[in-house]
Structure formats: C-alpha cells, structure tokens
A = this chain, B = another copy of it.
Amino acid sequence: MESWRDVTCPIQRTAMLFADVYIIMILRDLATGQKRFTELQQAGINPRILSQRLKMLTREGVISRTRFVEKPPRVEYALTPKGLALMPILDALKTFGEKYLPLDDNASSSSSS
C-alpha cells in the first residue's frame, strides 16, 4: 500500500501510522507516565520490535526520548502533546473492549466441576 501521505482520508492516514498492536501497547504503557526501555519490554515486546517502534514514534513526534547521562545510562520515553492527542483513540479501544470483548474467565480456573 502507498504511504499515508498519499492518502487524503484522515481516518486512514492515522490508521496507516498507528494501527499496530505494538504501537498501541507502547502508547498504553506511556499513558501512565514515562517509562524506560526495559519497562516497556515487560509488556511482552522483544527488543528489536520495541526499538523499531520507538524510533518510528519518535520520528512522528508522538513520544520524546530523554537520555540521562548516568552510570548506568538511563533513557526515558514519554508522550508528547501530540502523543497525548492519541489517548482518545486508546480510550475508545478500551471502552469497546470492556463492553464487547469480556474476559472468558476460564483462564486460571482449573478446579471447577
């Protein structure tokens, strides 16, 4: 498919950039405050994918990368104002999921009769 810049529909433009489950996971985790690389990995994203997505999100201006010159080195990722503007999308995903994708609660139960 073409680049998002070649598309005029704002829905599709946004989707072409951010409709990716890894990106959404990262944004979700940053919604509660700045996070470090390792912390973001905990969500179950491998370092290669994570690095790649963080680069892209930084390039698009939705997250910031702050490098603290310490030992050991520390890097914090945080939402920018543009990134904050994506939060309504996550809210809508959440609302839908809670209502229409309820948990089956058959996960941890092994002793039910």
Contacts of A97 in B (CB 8 A): 9-14
Q: Check A1 for interface membership: any CB of B closer than 8 A.
A: yes
Q: How many residues of A sit at the interface, in one of the four size bands? A: 35 or more
Copy total for this chain = 2
Residue of B nearest to A12 (CB): B25
Q: How far is the CA of A1 from the CA of B96 in the complex (A)?
A: 21
Q: Determine whether the beta carbon of A24 is less than 8 Å from that of B11.
A: yes
Q: Determine whether the beta carbon of A16 is less than 8 Å from that of B21.
A: yes
Q: Determine whether the beta carbon of B17 is less than 8 Å from that of A101.
A: yes
Q: How far is the CA of A1 from the CA of B43 in the complex (A)?
A: 11
Residue of B10, B25, B101 near A93 (CB, 8 A) is: B10
The residues of A with any CB-CB pair to B shorter than 8 Å are 1, 4-6, 8-17, 19-21, 24-25, 28, 44, 82, 85-86, 88-101, 103-104, 107
